[in-house]
Amino acid sequence: MVVPSRLESLSLVALEAWAAGRPCLLNGDSPVLAGQAQRGGGALLFRDPAGLGDGAARLVADPAEAARLGEAGRRFVALHYRWNGVVRRLEGLIATVAGAGRAERPADRG
């Protein structure tokens, strides 16, 4: 999967590719994509057309590396973006915010 946009936010298409165990070539000029690649471990970064070509050639020439990157991405998505995990994080966030809101109200004290 190639995500060429340097203005990309969180790339859902990269997450979909990783969920399917496929490596990605991501534009390294996007701080969000670069961070996503670093955290997920399932991508090579490029910054220009030559870098894109080099990355594509590298993945074609080394199927084992492509498989390793795809598997790293698949594990990342399974750990962070499956529905149950997302729901747990949202519930935790809501509980934290609700608890902080209560702590700030004087009527709740004592």
So what's the pLDDT on residue 43?
97
How high is the pLDDT of residue 102? Answer: 63
Question: Which amino acid appears at position 80 of this protein?
Answer: H
Residue 11 belongs to a domain? yes
Q: What is the pLDDT of residue 110?
A: 47
- Which residue type sits at 38? Q
Q: Which domain, by its residues, includes 46? A: 2-77
DSSP H or E run through 3 = strand 2-3
Domain membership of residue 33 (yes or no) is yes
| Alpha helices in 1-110, H assignment, sequence order | 12-19, 31-40, 49-61, 63-80, 83-103
Residue 22 lies in a domain: yes
Q: Which residues of the chain have pLDDT under 50?
A: 109-110
pLDDT given at position 47: 97
CA distance 33 to 51: 15
Q: What is the pLDDT at residue 105?
A: 53
Domains contained in the chain, number: 1
Given this model, what pLDDT does residue 1 score? 96
Q: Is residue 62 part of a domain?
A: yes
